[in-house]
Amino acid sequence: MPDVRVSGLTKRYGEVVAVDAIDLEIAPGEFFTMLGPSGSGKTTTLRMIAGFEIPDEGTIELAGEDVSRLPPYDRPVNTVFQDYALFPHMTVQQNVEYGLMVKRVPKGERRKRAEEALEMVRLAGYGERKPSQLSGGQRQRVALARAIVNRPRVLLLDEPLGALDLKLRQQMQVELKSIQREVGITFVYVTHDQEEALTMSDRIAVFNQGRVEQVGPPAAVYEHPQSEFIAGFVGVSNVIARDGRRYTVRPEKIRLVENGSEPEPGWHVEPGVVQDVQYVGAFTRYHVALDRGGELQVLAQNLAEGSSQVLEAKGRRLRVQWRPEQESVIDESEGGSE
């Protein structure tokens, strides 16, 4: 039985269909991410699961129970927001205990559970500090502890790392994922950041204009996007038109071959000209204009070359090649070239 089942979920705000007949099933213990651009309906979906918004149509089941008409406090879920919402005048310990105090959990147990939760988020010994004495990443972990101390069945997280800078965010991605594995709680995680979704999730649902366009494990979504929107949003859109169909192939799957050298047997080969070269340190990005129209981005690791050498490729005629199984057909439109 799924932990979360959402069927035909719809929410309108006047003319705007914020969430448009969404179906989702999330398994117990899964790290499930809702990924999509701003305005695609992620937060509204999360808020309906939490009970902060009432759906216009559809149902929400948590562990098999229809909770669609239950208020938030009667649902086995907790939410972690981007802005932490910690009480500044309380200590870390008091912040984490707060929800248990409201539920009248006795003091001794409260203290013990809060300490356990702080240990889980690697903040043992920080209980007496005030939120202002913590870093951004530590504050976010207090917010997490405050949610898991309630032992929810499902934890809902709306862009919880959005306020952190890149390095800290990447660190917290790894930590959040390992905390989730340890506590075993189902995570429903909202982000607009494709890298975050790809690194942390067991499965990703890609949102576009209130609809879910694809659901699958990170590698499936990245390597076999089912629509041109997904190809462009989760990675770089490399679209090729051939035989009246449209295909994508990811930039790192494509190899550059000098004219005159033998292409790999069985690979798909296209002649073209290097329009532009960007040296990015670990790799180089090439923009290749194909002879029969369209442009492809190609990523090549800088295994040996110095920057001056790779930049010399600009203007060169060459061929690009890839294995046919690394193409994905995009079904939403046909024909035409880029």
191 binds, among ligand ADP, Mg ion, none (CB under 5 to 8 A by kind): none
Nearest CB to ligand ADP, comparing residues 23 and 65: 23
Nearest CB to ligand ADP, comparing residues 144 and 205: 205
Best CA proximity match to 169, nearest among 204, 205, 199: 199
145 binds, among Mg ion, ligand ADP, none (CB under 5 to 8 A by kind): none
Nearest CB to Mg ion, comparing residues 191 and 284: 191
DSSP state of 260: T
- Under 8 Å CB-to-CB from 81, ≥6 apart: which residues? 143, 158, 160
39 binds, among ligand ADP, Mg ion, none (CB under 5 to 8 A by kind): ligand ADP
Contact 188, 32 (CB under 8 A): yes
Q: Which of 43, 93, 191, 328 binds Mg ion (CB under 5 A)?
A: 43
CB atoms within 10 A of CB 176: 24
Least CB distance to ligand ADP at residue 114 (A)? 31
End-to-end alpha-carbon separation of the chain, Å? 45
Least CB distance to ligand ADP at residue 294 (A)? 31
Nearest CB to ligand ADP, comparing residues 9 and 145: 9
Q: In terms of residues, how long is the chain?
A: 338
The crossing angle, in degrees rounded to 10, of helices 136-148 and 92-102 is: 20
CA distance 16 to 13: 5
41 binds, among Mg ion, ligand ADP, none (CB under 5 to 8 A by kind): ligand ADP
φ, ψ (nearest 5 deg) of residue 47: -65, -30
Least CB distance to ligand ADP at residue 195 (A)? 17
Least CB distance to ligand ADP at residue 68 (A)? 18
237 binds, among Mg ion, ligand ADP, none (CB under 5 to 8 A by kind): none
Least CB distance to ligand ADP at residue 43 (A)? 3
DSSP result, 275-303: EEEEE-SSEEEEEEEETTS-EEEEEEE-S
Beta bridge partners of 13: 16
Least CB distance to ligand ADP at residue 46 (A)? 8
Beta bridge partners of 60: 6
Q: Which of residues 291-330 bind Mg ion (CB under 5 A)?
A: none
CB atoms within 10 A of CB 193: 16
16 binds, among Mg ion, ligand ADP, none (CB under 5 to 8 A by kind): ligand ADP
- Which residues contact ligand ADP by CB under 6 A? 13, 16, 18, 36, 38-44
Contact 160, 81 (CB under 8 A): yes
Nearest CB to ligand ADP, comparing residues 206 and 239: 206
DSSP state of 235: S
Nearest CB to ligand ADP, comparing residues 13 and 87: 13
18 binds, among Mg ion, ligand ADP, none (CB under 5 to 8 A by kind): ligand ADP
Residues in the site for Mg ion, rule: CB under 5 A?
A: 43
